Structure 1
Amino acid sequence: MKITMSWARTAAMVAGMLVSVGDEGLAGEFIRVKETDDSAKLQTAVFGYEKDGGHVDLIGAIHIADKGYYQFLNKRFEGYGVLLFEMVGGERLGGGKNKREADKQEGENKLAGLRTLYESMEKALGLTGQGSQIDYFAENFVHADLTMEEFEALQKERGESILGFMIQAGMNAEKPTKDPDAMRLMRGILTGRPDLVKLEVMHTMAQGGEQIDAMAGENVIITDRNAKCMEVLDREIAKGGKKIGIFYGAAHFPDMEKRLLERGFVRVKTQWLTAWKVAKG
């Protein structure tokens, strides 16, 4: 029982940190949980911004979801002149890059260990992974994140670590993250009903945004990576880009939106996409 609850709490904490799954009012409302008597939906936002005839969309990323959600995103991404994407150490991905070299790089990626956790979550929840579904070799994809060398150097400079960031976020949150119901989790796992597991994990994940909101100030995980993304955005706009998408974890977007507004962009549109849909009962 304790093992099951520990797995769910760890999964929710990691998802909350890297994805910032938050209920309405959290994480700038870029990801939310919407419920009715019959179902619960985990939804990600697409927020549109305009300036001087140019358009930028912030597209909230979630690392595990229904396969149809990623299929929809792949189709949508085709409509952008440039699609900026997050991935520490992912500079060998993107348009025109060699898949063999990218596969080699992935094997050397020191953050690749997180995949084991995501894969266990995928199996337990009956979902699929972002990394296996999104076409990161699309011609219009442009890497807009730190290299692994930059990431490690900045963490050393700031004295940070991913684990330390997670712990500090939890300590700074106004409210502690509520444990998922261990009995419901066990029942869902033992009876092969992933929807029961999803409902429990979804609501635990929904509190992750508050932990991220508590991490105000400069840090590598959010602000340094956002600064790099904005550098790439400025470069693409200077090259004449008029329709640009930014596909990043929603934890980044409150700070990223602030940076866009400082550049003179105005938010003009909001659209919600359903990443998970879970039937109740």
Structure 2
Amino acid sequence: MKYRKSITILSSIIIILAVVAASMSVFSTGSPGPYDIETVRGETVTVYGKGPYKHMSEDVAPQGIAQGYITLFVGVPLLILSLVWARRGSLKGRFLLAGTLGYFLVTYLFYLVMGMYNVLFLVYVILLGTTFFAFAQTLLSFDLTNIAERFSESTPIKFIGGFLVFNSMAIGLMWLQVVVPPLVNGSIIPGQVEHYTTLIVQGLDLGLLLPLSFVSGLLFIRRKPFEYLLTPMYFIFLSILMVALTAKVIAMGMFGQHIVPAIVIIPFFGMVSIFCSVLIFKNIREPAHEYA
């Protein structure tokens, strides 16, 4: 089918360019090394000074490198596996493909809007575009009229949906602890802004990803058809993302940054997300030749 061919082409482009971008971030170490700069706010920030992230701060660049490892050795293999599985007619494969594409979409959206301009800018642009259209086409391929019937009656709806609601509230409170205190004490700008323009991660999480988690969980508990699509996809995305975040927290710790309570919260959420993903997949009944 033309549809299947377009997703295969887009996913192939994503695989190639993600390997390029992640490899350059992980293995490129050229440039002079760390140095200090004064921000427009009069604060001193240590810049990483190496590789594609040489203009990022020494606090943030190692996180990008850590996520590069996860993208290279977890995200790309999962994208290949899910694409092959989905092309064989598997509904589970299509859910896995949607969730994995969601991870790449969010990852390169963040890289494009947060990463200091570097040689990979056009690569990020192409990755964002290809992942968006591949993700959208994959979502549109599902038949919502009977999707709820593909889940067994033993699916732990309340537990799975409840965790998504809890996840959104817990992470949201963690980010509000960064944003709100400076607003209360009058300093306005959190130290985490460093030499960047704003808090990109916290902003997109609070404005988009966490509300999606909350609504998906709530409507899944209420057994709304659209959430039978969003919830499995979101859990795959969340599982990969939490693995990447765990790697980022570990990298922060290796550079002497304070990582409590994140070093406890993030891996715990990651393990629960993977557990819920397994539960969901165990309770999906495969239709015959639905993807053909």
The reply to whether TM is greater than 0.5 is no
Query: TM-score w.r.t. structure 2 length?
Result: 0.31
Give the strand-richer structure, 1 or 2: 1
Q: Which has the larger radius of gyration?
A: 2
Give the structure-1-normalised TM-score: 0.32
Structure with the bigger percentage of helix: 2
Higher relative contact order (CA 8 A, sep 6+): 1
